[in-house]
Amino acid sequence: TSIAATTAYNTSVERRFNGRRHGDLWEACRDRMARFEEVLKKMRKDKVADLQEMPATMRRVSSALYIALRRADIVYTEVHKTEKEFYGKPSPVGPAGNDAQSQELYRLADKNIAEYRQQYAGVMAGVQRTEAQSAVFMTTVDTLRMKMLGYRLVGKGPEMQSHEFLEALSEAKLQLNAIDKALDELDMGHYPKMIAAMPPPPPTQSVEQVQVHPDA
């Protein structure tokens, strides 16, 4: 049945991510898209020109975020398997004394630690940027959704000028394009080139309700 298919699909979503950190971020993005689609359906009759392109832009960016979050999840999981016990620990302090060779060895140890932290930051940079882009996406969609609700429920009178609403749409589109560009330009050097074992496509009902999931 469709209910069973949707339940199975929702379970598969949880299994796509190794941890809750990025899985929850994706679920939050997906929830925003579902709410946006619901409001969009009610605005179709208004035939606002910009709304013809906006949904496609949002779905494209949402799909890009999904891939980026999957990759970020892989990197985050692999790094923390071995490094969570080490990163952030204080540098070793050499014993008091005047032995020049010992002091030089401790100086080298400190240098190695500094390089280790620099390498760690480089590997995790892509993860942090993806998380930040997800936050921008969610807040952009939230703001746009409320603008749409306000336009539809409060400001639909014939005397009301729609330029403010159209400006809001244009601003949202600029932000979405900026996210898309940032994800495209994100340094994926430390990320896996491919994601193995992609899950099957969602059931038809889920696609109709939330047109956001990338094809498997």
d(CA 25, CA 29): 6
User: Is the full-model pTM beyond 0.85?
Assistant: no
What tokens does 202 get? 């969602």
In the predicted structure, residue 89 carries a pLDDT above the cut 60? yes
What's the pLDDT tens digit per position in 161-179?
A: 567 777 888 888 888 888 8
In the predicted structure, residue 54 carries a pLDDT above the cut 70? yes
Tell me how crowded residue 26 is: count the other CB atoms within 10 A of its CB.
Answer: 23
Query: What's the confidence (pLDDT) of residue 209?
Result: 38
136 sits in the region (left: phi over 0; alpha: psi -120 to 50; else beta) called alpha
CB 63 within 8 A of CB 195: no
Query: What's the confidence (pLDDT) of residue 203?
Result: 37
**Closest-CA residue to 211 (of 85, 55, 96, 69):** 55
Query: What's the confidence (pLDDT) of residue 134?
Result: 94
pLDDT category of residue 74 using cuts at 50, 70 and 90: very high
In the predicted structure, residue 13 carries a pLDDT above the cut 80? no
% pLDDT > 90, the chain: 24
Query: What's the confidence (pLDDT) of residue 170?
Result: 83
Query: What's the confidence (pLDDT) of residue 15?
Result: 62
In the predicted structure, residue 212 carries a pLDDT above the cut 50? no
CB 176 within 8 A of CB 137: yes
Residue type, 83: E
d(CA 22, CA 71): 10
Q: Is the dihedral of CA 172, 174, 180, 183 positive or negative?
A: negative
d(CA 37, CA 208): 9
Mean pLDDT of the chain: 75
Query: What's the confidence (pLDDT) of residue 201?
Result: 37
CB 120 within 8 A of CB 87: yes
Contacts 24+ apart (CB under 8 A), 43-47: 43/148, 43/151, 43/152, 46/151, 46/152, 46/156
d(CA 12, CA 173): 31
Query: What's the confidence (pLDDT) of residue 47?
Result: 67
